[in-house]
């Protein structure tokens, strides 16, 4: 079952704040949407100069492997200040889903402009490991969701 299908089954859990002052389901999902939205905005800006950007290589591939492992471990990370500062509060789960769908559509449209010979260009910047290519960016976005999935599952119980 996909993430949003799980969440739609329990809309009453959307704003429940855990007693231990951790993020609510609303806050986790808003964080994921914001991270994707800011990533798409950055990619949209950098894709304008994609042909001037250098290519990624083995170093970036190794950094990406380390990033993937870090996202799969039960470690806590501090969200980047820009993501925290840009994270909105949604009125409803449906508003959040609409925003996420809009962001995903923008990403799809953007990806359709990238040509095969441009896939390795350094046009995505991860806040810790630096410049990556668009394939790495997509992998990170998936890993970021996987990282928060155990947290989401706990909040849905």
Q: Cβ distance 123 to 50 under 8 Å?
A: yes
Q: What is the pTM of this model?
A: 0.94
- Is residue 36's pLDDT more than 80? yes
- Exposure pattern of 23-53 as b/e (b: 16+ CB <10 Å)? bebbbbbbbbbbbbbbbbeebeebbeebeeb
- Quick one: average pLDDT of 132-141? 98
Higher pLDDT pick, 68 / 6: 68
Angle at 63 between CA 136 and CA 41, to 5 degrees: 40
- pLDDT tens digits, 89-130: 999 999 999 999 999 999 999 999 999 999 999 999 999 999
How far is the C-alpha of 61 from the C-alpha of 72, rounded, in Å? 17
- Is residue 76's pLDDT more than 80? yes
Task: Output the average pLDDT for the chain.
Answer: 94
């Amino acid at each position: 079952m996909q993430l949003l299908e799980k969440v739609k089954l329990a809309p009453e859990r959307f704003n429940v704040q855990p007693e231990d002052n951790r993020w609510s389901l609303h806050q986790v999902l808003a964080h994921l949407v914001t991270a994707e939205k800011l990533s798409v905005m950055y990619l949209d800006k950098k894709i304008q100069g994609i042909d001037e950007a250098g290519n990624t290589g083995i170093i970036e591939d190794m950094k990406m492997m380390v990033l993937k492992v870090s996202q799969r471990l039960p470690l806590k990370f501090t969200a980047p200040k820009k993501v925290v500062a840009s994270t909105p509060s949604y009125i409803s789960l449906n508003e959040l889903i609409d925003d996420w769908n809009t962001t995903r559509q923008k990403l799809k449209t953007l990806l359709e402009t990238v040509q095969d010979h441009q896939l390795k260009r350094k046009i995505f910047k991860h806040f810790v490991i630096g410049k990556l290519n668009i394939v790495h960016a997509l992998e990170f976005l998936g890993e970021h969701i996987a990282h928060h999935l155990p947290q989401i599952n706990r909040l849905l119980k």
